[in-house]
Structure 1
Amino acid sequence: MKKNLLLSIFSGLLLWIAWPPTQYTTFFLFVGLVPMLIAMENIIRADVAKKGKKIFATTFIGFFIWNTLCVYWVYNSLKIIGPVAAAPISLIPYSLGPLLMATACWLYYRVRLISNRALSLVALVCFWIGYEYLHQSWDLNFPWMTLGNGFATSHKWVQWYEHTGVYGGTIWIWAINILLFLLYVGLREQQGKATRIKLIIASFLVLVLPLSLSLFRYHSYKEQINPSNIVVAQPNIDPYEKEGIIPIQTQIEALTSLSDSIGQRNTEYFIWPETALSQDMDEDHIYTEVSYLQVRKFLNRFKNANVLTGGETHKFYTKRSTKTASEMPNEPGMFYDRFSSAINIENSSKVQFYHKSRLVPGAESLPFGNTLSFLKPAFEHLGGATGAYGMQTEPTVFYSQSGIGAAPVICFESIWGEWVSKYVKQGAQFIAIITNDGWWENTSGKDQHLDYAKLRAIETRRWVCRSANTGISAFINQRGDIVQQSKWWVRTALKQDINLNSDITFYVQYGDYIPKIASFLAVLGIFMIGLKKGFKH
């Protein structure tokens, strides 16, 4: 048991070493799961009772180590409620993913009871991808640790994400780990030399062919010349001082000054970060809001430009028009929604709104409605208004007066490849990510968030223009290269001539087809386990 536990811990450490933002160690992803597979095989072959429980417990420990070391920064965003309260709440993101990962391994064991090793390993990959897809789809969504995200610092290796999305990376990692595991098993079981040679050749080909194709695609990819001048501003305002301490007019003055310092006559978009307009505004009366008028005054100097910014907005209704609408206190029959919004302002009366749709569980939405309502007092301290944010079911593309389509992606949403691809399918020619990563302080969280944006550029073949309140702001080209980036905790602005693109990639066209197929097969596998009465063992 101790040996298997050490193998599991070793797996967790290998995966952590390989994970972004660490560079030059990505290759450990190809071996990081091998010790875990060996530990599970040891338990399956051992003459012990309750093997399923042992596999679940053993794998959970390794995955918990991997997840916790990679997303330790979640704790920083909770420190405002005090260390005593922050520690247990942090266990939710630290533990939930590993619980689902360990469940996938437990299901693998159940399939081994009714099938051979080869088919069971295929089932394991399906169960794993099924967990990843669930973890991006349900109310407790947190797809940060999807295996395919691990190539974010080695984006040259996965240019074929334009066909598969990050789930292609998950399959690639599992395929090589499984082949190496089978090679180890072959040596331990003294299988024939021919079998070992086949496994060596298969491992080599599965590693080299996708890598070679990707590098060829990277070096041969040429952007169509279709320039547009974009400015991103990084005001570097302490997120804990944005509301109530620093006047909103002062914050906007900082943004307009930064933008004006490098703006050009041909600048199409000035992009400001999430909640840059932190004063809550009525969408139906925005033309009288002081913040809006201040932005319009700035745009007088740039007649053809747009300001794409984040802001806090609300709408009032005379009936419950949306599922998220709340009744007005002391005003029966009146309802309202609050939104974390992206707002497009131009030199006309037209204002475009998009309401953040992938909300942070706890901070911006209450998972599972009233079921977890007892946690509301704790979650209300996380920087949001729990349960009070409305959302959209489909993305909205912003269009400039000249017809340029921009995808307004707000913070957490940039982790969802398929969601971002929907903007592109609707006509977005570049991606504008607006975020505020200051809650995590100077930790690897902000770096991971930036690195993941590179994968969205590859999947969609769109430039990414990233404006972060306290860093890191950046421009990323269609190959996933960071062309420019700011430093952390620096007030600055960047400008770049990007190339607009209107072509549609295979992934944009078909979305997350891989996890949908894998999830179907996973459900089929669970059904077969029950049918064969595997749960009785």
Structure 2
Amino acid sequence: MKSILNNRLLLFFATGLLFFLSWPVVNFSVLAFVAFVPLLFAEQKFKNVWAYSLVLYTNFLVWNVLVTWWIKNASIEGAIGAILCNAALMCLPWIIYRITKSLSKTNLADYSIIFYWLAFEYLHLDWELSWSWLNLGNVFSNTTFLIQWYEYTGVLGGTLWILVVNYLIYQLLQNNKFNKKKVYLLSGILIIPALASLVLLQTNKELTKVTKKENVIIVQPNEDPYTEKFRKSEAELIDELLRLTESNLDENTALVIWPETAIPANLLEDEISSNMYYQPIFEFARKHPGLMIVTGINSAKIWKGEKKGFSVRSDHGMDYEVFNTAMKIEANSPSEFYHKNKLVPGVESLPSWLGFLSDVFSDFGGTSGTLGRSEEPLVFKSRKGFNVAPVICYESIYGEYVGSFINKGANLIAVITNDGWWGDTPGYKQHLSYSRLRAIESRKWLVRSANTGISAVIDPLGNILESRGWNQQAVIRHTVQLNEESTIYTKFGDWIGKIAFVLGIFIFIYLFTCKYFLKK
């Protein structure tokens, strides 16, 4: 470590490389506890602000490229834009940290990076260019035995853990003298959360026991989104989904899950019930009146009222919106539609302040153009007590948003996704691992239907109980337990981020005021 810290050239990429090695799917997650140490030393070594900024940017660029390069399979232009932009945004808390240290030499200024980074991750969760794939707490998504306490803190609790450990290690390395108190403090901060997690694993074992007899069928059709979905007709796609479902159905099946955009045709929602292609699905539902089907579709609605926003499209004098939709189908009940709320920037949505570039971005990714969205979550409720949170693809990386389904009564999480757009890359594996965090945060069973894989069943401890691999047509039939309880995290959301945001503002204003207005 000391050779890295003393070598200025290595400081340009050490942090980025360490985070890459710690991230799923490489999974040396322990390296995250030292990954920011080189940047903390770089702040001391590089007095020139431009040199320091270059160190920051190259590190974050390395991190983004090595972990999320697979975005280019959907759009090379989109990948370049996303990676360059996100690397630049990651520099902001460190620039503010640098300014804060110039205001004061106190411990408050030294520790301010913890609050600034937490505030950055929190803000990055909820704006028009949101991209929380690299939030630090995600690094433990394949070492869930360490972070069972996410049911209280969510992912930002893991971020806080990493930041505090990094800063304490930095302080120990910075001081040539052995500091017994800080070693004890560091050991406690490392060990106590891990021990607490092991205790929670034992106390929550009851949640993994299944007493219900009803089961869920998860279909993985394995249709290549780059070819088959645009060669096969809607009738052929639906026939395949029904065949796979029917062959695995039994008298205890209560819920069927099909993946995101399983039926890709853009149809008006008020015409689906009478559309000839959908009739076999409704007939299947009538044949099995105790069954609820949740499927992904592409849908559209006529825009009523004055046109506004560039998600509203016009064609032949008609204004309408297109949606990435989850649809509920149940016999003797009207279909329900939930429109994906958390849209992929550049792929499915464009910030309102970049509306003039809408033509440039119109063909990025799996679903072209800017989509409409639901304003709030919708829970699909079945007659057999299955209250399903229909989480669509990208939404599954947002813990607080998934928790909002739970607050509306969901007792089971169903993630429907495509993942075929990324090809056989780390992307779909990372995406699966993040679903494990949602199960822990909510203490709910989670079922996942992915078009090309990996489809899975995950218990409330984050364990993957059954899965189907990449690029294979498959079906899972599994019994799950419904849990009506809410966790601290689902009730209060990203409370750590909110506190850090307020404290970060207070620290900066306080130190700025002390330096420029309270000198005497």
Name the SS for the 1:240 alignment partner: coil
- Give me the identity figure in percent: 34
Superposition deviation, residue 487 in structure 1: 0.8
499-508 or 27-36: bigger deviation = 27-36
In 1, the alpha carbon distance for the partners of 2:116 and 2:289 equals: 54
Aligned to 2:497: 515
Asked if 1:34 is matched to 2:37, the reply is: yes
In 1, the alpha carbon distance for the partners of 2:490 and 2:334 equals: 29
115-124 or 478-487: bigger deviation = 115-124
TM-score (norm 2): 0.93
Superposition deviation, residue 526 in structure 1: 4.2
Tell me if the contact between 2:224 and 2:452 (Cα under 8 Å) persists in the aligned partners. yes
- Given candidates 333, 342, 359, the residue that maps to 1:358 is 342
Aligned to 2:60: 63
In 1, the alpha carbon distance for the partners of 2:497 and 2:417 equals: 27
- Given candidates 239, 250, 257, the residue that maps to 1:264 is 250
In 1, the alpha carbon distance for the partners of 2:276 and 2:105 equals: 68
Asked if 1:115 is matched to 2:104, the reply is: yes
For 1:454-533, list aligned pairs within 5 A.
454-528=436-510, 531=513
Name the SS for the 1:262 alignment partner: coil
- Given candidates 363, 372, 380, the residue that maps to 1:380 is 363
Instruction: Report how many aligned residue pairs link the two structures.
Output: 509
In 1, the alpha carbon distance for the partners of 2:53 and 2:11 equals: 14
Q: Which amino acid aligns with 2:416?
A: I
Deviations for 1:337-387, whole angstroms, at most 9, x for unmatched residues? 211100000111321110000011111111234x35235334424332322
For 1:133-148, list aligned pairs within 5 A.
133-148=122-137
Q: Which amino acid aligns with 1:52?
A: V
Name the SS for the 1:112 alignment partner: helix
Aligned to 2:184: 201
339-348 or 515-524: bigger deviation = 515-524
374-383 or 394-403: bigger deviation = 374-383
Superposition deviation, residue 532 in structure 1: 6.0
Asked if 1:211 is matched to 2:215, the reply is: no
Name the SS for the 2:480 alignment partner: strand
Superposition deviation, residue 115 in structure 1: 2.1
Aligned to 1:367: 351
- Given candidates 327, 343, 359, the residue that maps to 2:327 is 343
Q: Residues 15 and 327 from structure 1, CA distance in 2 versus in 1: closer, same or farther, beyond 3 angstroms?
A: closer
TM-score (norm 1): 0.91
For 1:35-434, list aligned pairs within 5 A.
35-43=38-46, 48=47, 51-78=48-75, 86=76, 88-116=77-105, 118-187=107-176, 190=177, 193=178, 196-221=179-204, 222-223=206-207, 225-227=210-212, 228-320=214-306, 323=309, 326=312, 328-331=314-317, 334-369=318-353, 371-374=354-357, 376-387=359-370, 389-434=371-416
Asked if 1:450 is matched to 2:432, the reply is: yes
In 2, the alpha carbon distance for the partners of 1:160 and 1:434 equals: 26
Name the SS for the 1:336 alignment partner: strand
Tell me if the contact between 1:344 and 1:351 (Cα under 8 Å) persists in the aligned partners. yes
Cα RMSD of the aligned pairs, angstroms, is 2.0
In 2, the alpha carbon distance for the partners of 1:166 and 1:468 equals: 23
Q: Residues 378 and 352 from structure 1, CA distance in 2 versus in 1: closer, same or farther, beyond 3 angstroms?
A: closer
Tell me if the contact between 2:103 and 2:515 (Cα under 8 Å) persists in the aligned partners. no
Name the SS for the 2:256 alignment partner: strand
Superposition deviation, residue 531 in structure 1: 4.3
In 2, the alpha carbon distance for the partners of 1:303 and 1:327 equals: 37
Q: Which amino acid aligns with 1:368?
A: S
Q: Which amino acid aligns with 1:213?
A: A
Tell me if the contact between 1:160 and 1:214 (Cα under 8 Å) persists in the aligned partners. yes
Superposition deviation, residue 107 in structure 1: 1.1
In 2, the alpha carbon distance for the partners of 1:34 and 1:216 equals: 30
In 1, the alpha carbon distance for the partners of 2:312 and 2:427 equals: 33
Deviations for 1:497-533, whole angstroms, at most 9, x for unmatched residues? 0111000100011011111111122233444465467
Deviations for 1:241-274, whole angstroms, at most 9, x for unmatched residues? 3544111111111111111121111211110000
In 2, the alpha carbon distance for the partners of 1:209 and 1:336 equals: 54
Q: Residues 138 and 529 from structure 1, CA distance in 2 versus in 1: closer, same or farther, beyond 3 angstroms?
A: farther
Q: Residues 276 and 266 from structure 1, CA distance in 2 versus in 1: closer, same or farther, beyond 3 angstroms?
A: same
Superposition deviation, residue 292 in structure 1: 2.6
Superposition deviation, residue 101 in structure 1: 2.0
Name the SS for the 1:366 alignment partner: coil
Aligned to 1:6: 10
Q: Which amino acid aligns with 2:142?
A: T
Q: Residues 352 and 378 from structure 1, CA distance in 2 versus in 1: closer, same or farther, beyond 3 angstroms?
A: closer
Q: Which amino acid aligns with 2:346?
A: G
Tell me if the contact between 2:103 and 2:512 (Cα under 8 Å) persists in the aligned partners. no
Q: Which amino acid aligns with 1:260?
A: E
Superposition deviation, residue 415 in structure 1: 0.5
Name the SS for the 2:315 alignment partner: coil
Tell me if the contact between 2:424 and 2:470 (Cα under 8 Å) persists in the aligned partners. yes
Tell me if the contact between 1:156 and 1:218 (Cα under 8 Å) persists in the aligned partners. yes
In 1, the alpha carbon distance for the partners of 2:357 and 2:313 equals: 20
In 2, the alpha carbon distance for the partners of 1:110 and 1:468 equals: 45
Superposition deviation, residue 330 in structure 1: 3.7
